[in-house]
Structure 1
């Protein structure tokens, strides 16, 4: 090969690597520029903003739903409580109505009302403390309501000889009832009695002008705490 041809060959070979390097650099630069351009294109920024807005909207919607759920739960609880309170009040009213109806007169046979509560006269040391039911000796005397016998016996069961044989019963509402001038006592202290149960027979014992039952309603078991028995029974739907 001549020197001239050899030089030509070397020149061609030397040029090609440089061209390849330039082309490679150009391609890499294009890729890099393309990446920069991609990040800065307006369309891509819109996509990012849209995604952020969607996340915010979802969060706000979730919070609103949570608040609505909490409000609904609170309303439900309030409704349930109101219904429970209403049911409790209705039950109390029904219990009172049942209790009121369960009171009865101490005498179920025929009777005549004689000495009344608050009467005065020589027959009493002070005002009359009960209601008298004139009935024959041996008439059944009933407990006006269920309760427990707390006093029973002669000498007015501890209230004095004027009452003769007597019984005092304590009822669940804290009221006490007394039955006096009895000919026979059929219960004992501590015994439970039912409404309308026969507890004694009427008589004429103690300070009595004739056969009758002396009936009292008291706030305690003892003499001196009597209230109007007719008015009390009337409040419990018992007419005498």
Structure 2
């Protein structure tokens, strides 16, 4: 008769089995934990990226707004500069036009002496112009723009009584004459503008002292003079 032998797992086998089960459980826990960690790590960067994107978008919008404001200011400044330049140019043009159309005194800081048609022993008949008493060497200016038609000694052809003289032709048949000059600084044919230096005052010719003899004429020659003070008054000059 045979005896039935029942085999029992050895202690070593049981320990191995238990270790395997334990390892499997720990593996599952590790996998589960890793998944949770991965999910957490994936969620956290997404929130951070979204915030960064929003911050960058806000910064870009602010920069764009600032650039737009700066561009608008630059455009406005450029427009203002162009308008200012245009206004300055227009003012200069208007001033030049006004100057070209205006008349002035032929000298500054003067004292009126002998007047037009004044009688006296120094003139052949009566005085033919207006005398401006000024020191010798005073700047003499063109009373109005025009062309020099006479310039030289002997009254520029009108006689020695005038000394050194200049005659300028203006528009509308008007001429101005400057006499008793110590120096002549223009030539016949030269175009001059209102206020331009043309000579220095003096005491040449038939003169009792340094002054400028000034005439307004209807021709370039002696004998056609009109009252220069009344003429200048009509032109708005306060002599």
TM-score by length of 2: 0.58
In 2, the alpha carbon distance for the partners of 1:142 and 1:101 equals 15
State the match for 2:106 in structure 1: 106
Q: Do the aligned residues in 2 keep the contact of 1:101 with 1:236 (CA within 8 Å)?
A: no
Which runs of structure 2 are paired with 1:137-156 in the superposition (5 Å)? 137-156=136-155
In 2, the alpha carbon distance for the partners of 1:139 and 1:158 equals 23
Q: Do the aligned residues in 2 keep the contact of 1:130 with 1:217 (CA within 8 Å)?
A: yes
In 2, the alpha carbon distance for the partners of 1:171 and 1:183 equals 24
3-state SS of 1:233 partner: helix
Instruction: Please list every run of 5 or more consecutive structure 1 residues that lacks an aligned counterpart in the other structure.
Output: 1-93
Aligned residues: 144
Q: Do the aligned residues in 2 keep the contact of 1:100 with 1:237 (CA within 8 Å)?
A: no
State the match for 2:231 in structure 1: 232
> How much is the aligned-residue C-alpha RMSD, in angstroms?
1.6
3-state SS of 2:223 partner: coil
State the match for 1:213 in structure 2: 212
TM-score by length of 1: 0.58
3-state SS of 2:104 partner: coil
Instruction: Please list every run of 5 or more consecutive structure 2 residues that lacks an aligned counterpart in the other structure.
Output: 1-93
In 1, the alpha carbon distance for the partners of 2:183 and 2:143 equals 18
State the match for 1:14 in structure 2: none
Name the CA shift for 1:209/1:165 in 2 (closer, same or farther; >3 Å): same
Question: Deviation of residue 236 (structure 1)?
Answer: 0.2
Q: Do the aligned residues in 1 keep the contact of 2:100 with 2:145 (CA within 8 Å)?
A: no
Which runs of structure 2 are paired with 1:103-142 in the superposition (5 Å)? 103-108=103-108, 110-142=109-141
